[in-house]
């Protein structure tokens, strides 16, 4: 028997035609597909060159990368040996700058977001923070030279360099902390106030714990910039060469000058003739590794703290 032919008034056919894509919907879907591929190509245009650069650096650094390269000091006019003094000096500078700028930046952001009134003084501080974030690093270097080396009489030292780096990176910490504090719902604060908690008790027990992941974002950015800066430390505390024993974990005092990976890499590539390319590549890879390791630690901590949030 032949199957029955569905009539034009069949409700199933009518429902199918009612939910089929119209020309307008198909055009929108086509534009969405084009946009998705366009964004994918834009992301690939950023990621692929980065991966190629990292691969090129690692391949070039492979002949020199070793444990001895990390633990040995430079020898023979820095043409041979390792990078231990520069590696330890970079860690000193990053940790010192972080210890100086993070508490001050967080407290400043708490005041601006939780206590300060919306007046001309508040707006002036906001403008100063924004302008300070856009100041070139060489200007910060000259400020650190005049303020800490000469005026405060700290001399050319780790302390002067760390203070300069802290001033330079503090706007990032303030801005990210303010954004994190503002993201905490106001209802959280009002619930605490309604049960008799003071403003500071509310900030300490509710606002700061729920904004810690955003605060760590600013600290991650600070670590990346601090480890890679050359001009501020060149003017205030970094030195071309410093004699350090192999593997010594505490070779510097706060009043000493120190070597740093960024300045050491600059010196190897421009000031020291006869240095092999693999040594230069290996120094760059170690600098990237230090930054990535510190950033990864902060990111893992941020993810852990973020997972404990209840909203």
Confidence of residue 1 (pLDDT cuts 50, 70, 90): very low
Q: What is the pLDDT of residue 90?
A: 92
In terms of Cα–Cα distance, which of 101, 139, 85 is closest to 226? 101
Buried b (16+ CB within 10 A) or exposed e, 129-138: beeeeeeebe
Q: What is the pLDDT of residue 300?
A: 82
Q: What is the mean pLDDT of residues 27-40?
A: 91
Strand-pairing partners, residue 244, are: none
Residue 2 pLDDT exceeds 50: no
Confidence of residue 176 (pLDDT cuts 50, 70, 90): confident
Six-digit token string for 265 = 């890499």
DSSP letter, residue 81: E
Confidence of residue 147 (pLDDT cuts 50, 70, 90): very high
Buried b (16+ CB within 10 A) or exposed e, 291-300: beebbeebee
Instruction: Tell if the pTM clears 0.95, that is, is over it.
Output: no
Q: What is the pLDDT of residue 20?
A: 74
Strand-pairing partners, residue 81, are: 74
Cβ proximity of 244 and 89 under 8 Å: no
Q: What is the pLDDT of residue 144?
A: 93
Confidence of residue 309 (pLDDT cuts 50, 70, 90): low
Cβ proximity of 283 and 267 under 8 Å: no
Residues contacting 214, CB < 8 A, separation 6+: 176, 177, 179, 180, 181, 183
Helix (H/G/I), strand (E/B), else coil: 301: helix
Residues contacting 284, CB < 8 A, separation 6+: 57, 61, 265
Instruction: Kindly report, residue by residue over 201-255, the tens digit of the pLDDT.
Output: 898 888 888 888 888 878 887 888 888 888 899 999 889 888 888 878 888 988 9
Q: What is the pLDDT of residue 18?
A: 61
Cβ proximity of 168 and 136 under 8 Å: no
More confident of the two residues 173 and 12:
173
What percent of the chain is modeled with pLDDT above 70? 93
Residue 101 pLDDT exceeds 50: yes
């Amino acid at each position: 028997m032949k199957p029955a032919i569905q009539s034009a008034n069949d409700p199933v056919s009518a429902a199918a035609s009612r939910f089929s894509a119209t020309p307008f919907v198909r055009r929108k879907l086509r534009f969405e597909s084009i946009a998705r591929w366009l964004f994918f190509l834009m992301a690939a245009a950023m990621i692929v060159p980065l991966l190629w650069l990292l691969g090129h650096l690692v391949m070039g650094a492979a002949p020199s990368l070793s444990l001895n390269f990390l633990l040995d000091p430079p020898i023979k006019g820095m043409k041979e040996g390792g990078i231990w003094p520069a590696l330890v000096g970079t860690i000193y500078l990053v940790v010192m700058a972080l210890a100086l700028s993070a508490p001050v930046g967080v407290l400043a952001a708490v005041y601006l977001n939780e206590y300060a009134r919306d007046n001309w003084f508040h707006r002036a501080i906001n403008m100063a923070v924004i302008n300070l974030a856009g100041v070139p690093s060489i200007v910060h270097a000259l400020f650190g030279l005049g303020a800490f080396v000469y005026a405060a009489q700290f001399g050319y030292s780790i302390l002067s360099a760390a203070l300069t780096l802290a001033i330079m990176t503090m706007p990032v910490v303030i801005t990210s902390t303010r954004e994190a504090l503002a993201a905490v719902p106001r209802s959280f604060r009002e619930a605490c106030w309604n049960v008799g908690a003071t403003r500071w008790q509310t900030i300490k027990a509710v606002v700061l714990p729920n904004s810690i992941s955003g605060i760590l974002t600013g600290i991650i950015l600070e670590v990346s910039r601090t480890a890679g800066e050359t001009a501020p430390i060149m003017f205030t505390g970094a030195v071309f060469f410093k004699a350090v024993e192999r593997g010594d974990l505490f070779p510097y005092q706060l009043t000493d000058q120190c070597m740093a990976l960024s300045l050491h890499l600059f010196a190897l590539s421009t000031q020291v003739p006869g240095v092999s390319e693999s040594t230069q590549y290996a120094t760059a890879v170690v600098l990237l590794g230090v930054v990535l390791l510190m950033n990864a630690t902060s990111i893992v901590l941020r993810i852990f703290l973020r997972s404990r949030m209840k909203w």
